[in-house]
Amino acid sequence: MRIAFIGDIVGKPGRKIIEQNLQRLRDEHKIDFVIANGENASHGFGLTVKNANELFKVGIDVITGGNHSFDKKQDMFALLEGSNVLRPDNYPPGLVGEGIKTFEVNGEKLTIINLMGTYCMPFCENPFNWATRLVEDLEEKGIKNIFIDFHAEATSEKRVMMKMFEGRVSGICGTHTHVGTDDLQIANGTTYLSDIGLTGCRDNVIGMDKKVPIMKATTGLGGHFDIPKTCKSILQILVMDYEDGKSVDAFKIKFLSHKNEIIITKAMIE
């Protein structure tokens, strides 16, 4: 089973580079299933029904979320009730939707778990204790292929999640910061990457136009973040091969649109 994970999709530039390149990359690398974090896919904040359907049509199988999942509440309520859209499972109980779902891929079961960290994040349940219950339940059910999108600010939280479930889940990849990290590895059959980085504009500030972030940094006055009308965009994909619940190979693809260039980084095997 070969699955792929796309980092935080930021606005129209992120959706556009996926639309233009994902199916080709799926075919070229023989990818069976694609997960993408889409909490910033609609003008940088939240996800609309229209944009979700666009992403499903161009090759994404399931969309995960994070702290911006409910920025467009009515759209998200509709998506969580009827689409392959997840939100962090450790949001407080009683909220619509869920953050765990099992799929059939090439005759095997694959479970996707979406969790959110605690540092600088909205109120949520303890993700580590929550994950423990989820993984133990999946182990009892005999489900071996498990991927976790851990949406968190702190790399330390992401690393703790890795050390807790190393050898027990197939893959853990961090999202949220929009900045890719250089620690792709496979340890005891678990692929790990602290943060995959964004898919969208790479030459501004976390996919947003630089003007307001610079103003806030220099004067303390904020404003509405906008998506640049033109930019150099990037598509970042983590590709993982699972066999009997273990990652046996992994690599990251970075596609730079303005250069039409692909950079591939192989995972370190511990």
Catalytic residue positions? Answer: 68
Measured distance CA(18)–CA(65) in Å, rounded: 17
In angstroms, rounded to a whole number, what is the distance separating the alpha carbons of residues 196 and 237? 8
What's the rounded Cα separation, in Å, for the pair 168 and 261? 35
Closest alpha carbon to 191 in 146, 160, 138, 156:
146
Q: Which residues contact 188 (CB under 8 A, 6 or more apart)?
A: 166, 167, 270
Q: Name beta bridge partners: 105.
A: 108
Structure tokens at 106: 């090439």
d(CA 154, CA 177) in angstroms, rounded, equals 9
Residue whose token pair is 């649109």: 257
d(C-alpha 103, C-alpha 106), whole Å: 10
